[in-house]
Amino acid sequence: MKKRVHTGRSFNNTRNNRHCDSNDNAGTRRELPKGSDCCTAKKVYSSLLQSVEFSKSQYGDIKNWDWSLGAADFYKKYLGKYLKTTAVCEDTDTSICWSGNKTKQLNGSYYTGDSNQVNFKLADGTIIRLEKQNDLHIHVWVDINGVKEPNTFGRDIFILTLVGDAFKDNYQIIPHAGLYMFGHGLTREEIKSTNGQACTQTKSGTTCGELILMDGWEIKDDYPW
């Protein structure tokens, strides 16, 4: 299986002939999924990467962070102080920060996530969820248009993974500690495969962010909607 090296790439282009500002170094115009805004995605992705780097400068290597903390405490200590947050909703309190049980997968089913989580809203309306999987492994959900529809993986919701060490399962191959798109390390064919997290209309779509990133932030003809 061919591994891919994380380069910290960011979102460069917008949909519907819109461009980010000159500092975004936008290149050719590329179409993104309806309901998504690449400028917002780039800003959030960059902010999350910066918050990780700031926290590393204060607390040291990610591997040595206190991964025994719950999602809410982890956010408060390592990420929250570096993000422009307007609301924080711990555990199941999602009336302000998340769409509750209305997160859709591309196959039309709903996904609720784990209970060990914290949801927070940024000043620009973006909603982010930190979902603790286990020690050294946290999922970061990003809904780039807040509680507005479609609230669907691969359309306006994308998942990243924050890990404290190298990590491998059926859905991602991560070489070392850091923040990655969910599905990192898989080939394009594997992301489009039949596994449950695949970026297809019959699966969840949770790896679609990595697919768009892999394709240079261009929606190809085989994108699943």
Q: What does the pLDDT look like over 174-217, one tens digit per residue? A: 999 999 999 999 999 999 987 889 999 999 999 998 888 888 76
Distance of alpha carbon 212 from alpha carbon 221, whole angstroms: 12
**pLDDT class for 67, splitting at 50, 70, 90?**
very high
Q: In the chain, pLDDT over 70 holds for what percent of residues?
A: 76
Distance of alpha carbon 42 from alpha carbon 64, whole angstroms: 28
Judged on CB neighbours under 10 Å (0-12, 13-18, 19+), 84 is exposed
**pLDDT class for 7, splitting at 50, 70, 90?**
very low
Distance of alpha carbon 96 from alpha carbon 155, whole angstroms: 21
Distance of alpha carbon 19 from alpha carbon 114, whole angstroms: 36
pLDDT at 94 over 80: no
Phi/psi-derived region of residue 99, left when phi > 0, alpha when psi is between -120 and 50, beta in every other case? alpha
pLDDT at 18 over 50: no
pLDDT at 15 over 70: no
**pLDDT class for 9, splitting at 50, 70, 90?**
very low
pLDDT at 27 over 80: no
Whether this prediction's pTM lies above 0.75 is answered by: yes
**pLDDT class for 12, splitting at 50, 70, 90?**
very low
For residue 150, say if its preceding peptide bond is cis, omega within 30 degrees of 0: yes
Judged on CB neighbours under 10 Å (0-12, 13-18, 19+), 108 is exposed
